[in-house]
A and B are shown apart, each in its own frame.
Chain A
Amino acid sequence: EPEVTQTPSHQVTQMGQEVILRCVPISNHLYFYWYRQILGQKVEFLVSFYNNEISEKSEIFDDRFSVERPDGSNFTLKIRSTKLEDSAMYFCASSRERNTGELFFGEGSRLTVL
């Protein structure tokens, strides 16, 4: 069964550093998403991406965050000038259609900012 894969599974970084979280969505999917879950809190929407541009983003997705699809397979989330409050589990997801809401999630990348 095709699946969304994410790397790294755990990233530890110093505050102020830049991190890149990588995702390989399911190959025939066209819509890509990042969500995050701070420990003990809800899974929150960050951004959706389609046709090489951001479709929607939440207020969490400030100008330190960026997404990119540098090639035909990877979908990356970059966080510049990391803050302690960026520590969370980051989930990548993809879907074949836009409005079905049937997202396929990766296993997550845990980011720890020290």
Chain B
Amino acid sequence: AQSVSQHNHHVILSEAASLELGCNYSYGGTVNLFWYVQYPGQHLQLLLKYFSGDPLVKGIKGFEAEFIKSKFSFNLRKPSVQWSDTAEYFCAVRGSGSARQLTFGSGTQLTVLP
């Protein structure tokens, strides 16, 4: 079965700082990778996804993530965060066969100070 690790539980940044949230997964086969975001009081929503092709994927609100297969990583980045980016960020992976369902990481709470 696959698993996902997010090593940063809480990240605090000032506005305009650059962001990188780590995500590592373990799975022996082909994976699809996702970042979901949950703003305060709202539902989980898809930020970006990787299925195949260009390992650098761009999502909504200026976020991007890079799939590095050799490192089993899918880190989320944003060059300049805003106060409105304060939210919890979840990395998720989906394998194949019996590992077809989304497996989430434990989440990273991002707090952006104005």
Residues of A with Cβ closer than 8 Å to B?
3-4, 33, 35, 41-45, 48, 56, 58, 91, 93, 99, 101-108
Residues of B with Cβ closer than 8 Å to A?
32, 34, 36, 41-46, 49, 90, 92, 94, 100-107
Q: Is the CB of B90 within 8 A of A43?
A: yes
Q: Is the CB of A101 within 8 A of B104?
A: no
List chain B residues, Cβ under 8 A from A91.
Answer: 43-44
Q: In whole angstroms, what is the CA distance A70 to B4 when docked?
A: 35
Q: In whole angstroms, what is the CA distance A4 to B44 when docked?
A: 11
Q: Is the CB of A105 within 8 A of B90?
A: no
List chain A residues, Cβ under 8 A from B42.
Answer: 107
Known: A101-B34, A101-B49, A101-B94. A45 touches B102 (CB 8 A): yes
Of A33, A41, A101, most B-chain CB atoms within 10 Å? A101
- Least CB separation from A105: chain B residue: B44
Checking A33, A42, A56, A105 against B43 with a beta-carbon cut-off of 8 angstroms, the contacting residue is A105
Nearest chain B CB to A55 CB, angstrom units: 9
Nearest chain B CB to A53 CB, angstrom units: 16
Nearest chain B CB to A96 CB, angstrom units: 13
- Least CB separation from A57: chain B residue: B101
